[in-house]
Amino acid sequence: MNAPFPRHNPSEGPSDAQASDRLPLKLLVAAPRGFCAGVERAIAIVELSLERFGAPVYVRHEIVHNRHVVDGLKAKGAVFIEELDEVPDGAPVIFSAHGVPKVVPEVATARGLEWLDATCPLVSKVHRQAERQIQAGRHILFIGHRGHPEVIGTLGQVPEGSITLVETLEDAAALSFPADYPLAFLTQTTLSVDDTAELVTELQRRFPGIAGPRADDICYATSNRQAAVKAIAPECQLVLVIGAPNSSNSRRLVEVAERCGANARLIERASAIDPAWLDGVSVLGLTAGASAPESLVREVADYLRELREVTEEVVTTAEERMIFKLPPQLAS
């Protein structure tokens, strides 16, 4: 990923890349892109809490994985902390969109803290599924990335020892459960659609009786953004993905673009772009992870226009109209 582009030696005379750089740049902008309903809800919860309670409002972990968004909320009075012991008595605290282990709201309640849950409802759905599978007497195989906040939150919904993390096909091959052992699988919501399907197929091959969710756990926004990248990447020499380095769904978009044959770069905003990346590029793709605001997409497009003459085309593969309800404390 992010391999350097070939550089031209000026002593060799004008290169094809230099000649193409004098030509217009075709910019293919993927749609859907950027904020999903879960991210919009989480940000709204922080902003409305600041209006309702006044600053400061405490937020456990980054509300979403985007520095631009987090810095904007800090400027409005949000204070981001790692653990609840950093929250003063009587202050409101918000749990991030990625979800938290069950013990976190229990501790907040025991302390008498006013807490609001910004967990994405699609992540909460996975939490409920985990509880139901444990009640049914099944051990859970959870497909996800170790250390990701969503994974930590989901593992913390069920008793220790009742869930096993599966990251790779090698992990699946190493599982020692008997073929008829009562098992269920669930997945992180921000995974690669293709990689997850491959893992699920392997688990179903090894454990024919394994139970799964009625619908795909990978969220609609993750699936839609990956499909949009698949639609544009085959035409592009380079795809820029706006997102944070710790954003799982953004990193998956880079991988999807690369599998389609394009070079791909994960950037946080326009200032991260090296103009040399555009050497030899006549068609460039642009998308944004689910935590990246549209303002950063426009910022990147405007910067590209400073470098080249740009023709912009939006390629739409799906329409999104999902809206999630606010917590009851803010619904009125």
Query: Catalytic residue numbers?
Result: 150
Which residues fall within 8 angstroms of residue 202, CB to CB, at 6 or more apart? 169, 172, 173
CA dist 127 and 324 (Å) reads 17
Do 38 and 121 form a contact (C-beta atoms < 8 A)?
Answer: yes
CA dist 43 and 168 (Å) reads 32
User: Residue 138: enclosing H or E segment and its boundaries?
Assistant: none
Do 130 and 152 form a contact (C-beta atoms < 8 A)?
Answer: no
CA dist 49 and 35 (Å) reads 20
Closest CA to 307 of 277, 287, 286: 277
